[in-house]
Amino acid sequence: MHISWLGHSAFKIETKTPWRDEVVILINPYLEPKADLPRNLKSDLVLLGSGEKNTITLSGEPFVIASPGEYEVRGVMVYAVDISKNPKEPQLVFHFDTENVSTIFFGNFKGTVNEEMVDKLGLIDILLLPCGGGNVLGANEASDLVNQLEPRIVIPHSFNPPNGKLPGEPIDKFAKLLGQKEKEWLPKFKVAKRDLPQDETRLVLLEKS
């Protein structure tokens, strides 16, 4: 599985099904200010945490998930849970399983998670979460959520990357809270189940694609 960060809360994930078919997943490809996302991207599956408006052009006739439920799309299991307290403004958390790796995505999220939700999410291999402050979790809140969920890999989003002009705080405080002194930036993260750390949480920092 390959994970690329497109900026803000947008990700592109390239994976393979049990039948070795390639599947491209887009998460939150919204036209955010200064996001500089491609105007269109081809994909097979699109996960939208904040509704279907204001997205880039979705090429390739993908299956779009923008409402709560349980889905199976081309061998990828997806669970979408609405954690918003306002029914007019849904905020979905996505849990999807592919290549025997369990991934949780929190989008434009600011708040706390109760123990019932923690139990529902279960074992987390990869956690994608915001940490830039403002309208989303800040470094302290994001660190608390990591400690609560205990994922094996954490990939942050919605922060301002080095030499970037995106809204949000830089990553330094969040990295320090997770005990990572040296920061290595990757253009893309390649991961398999066998590569996941067993006894610790690893922070993975992605360059904006």
| Residues 66-84: tens digit of each pLDDT | 999 999 998 899 999 988 7
Determine the pLDDT at residue 140. Answer: 96
| Closest C-alpha among 165, 183, 164, 172 to residue 143 | 172
The number of residues making up the chain comes to 209
Are 190 and 173 in contact by the 8 Å Cβ rule? The answer is: no
Q: How confident is the model at residue 86 (pLDDT cuts 50, 70, 90)?
A: confident
Give the domain range for residue 87.
Answer: 2-206
Angstrom distance (rounded) from CA 188 to CA 165: 20
Angstrom distance (rounded) from CA 36 to CA 123: 34
CATH number of 118's domain? 3.60.15.10
The runs of H, that is alpha helices, within 69-166 are 115-121, 139-149
Angstrom distance (rounded) from CA 155 to CA 206: 7
Angstrom distance (rounded) from CA 10 to CA 99: 21
Around Cβ 14, how many Cβ atoms within 10 Å?
16
pTM of the complete model: 0.94
pLDDT tens-digit readout, 9-41: 999 999 998 777 899 999 999 987 766 777 778
Domain total of the chain: 1
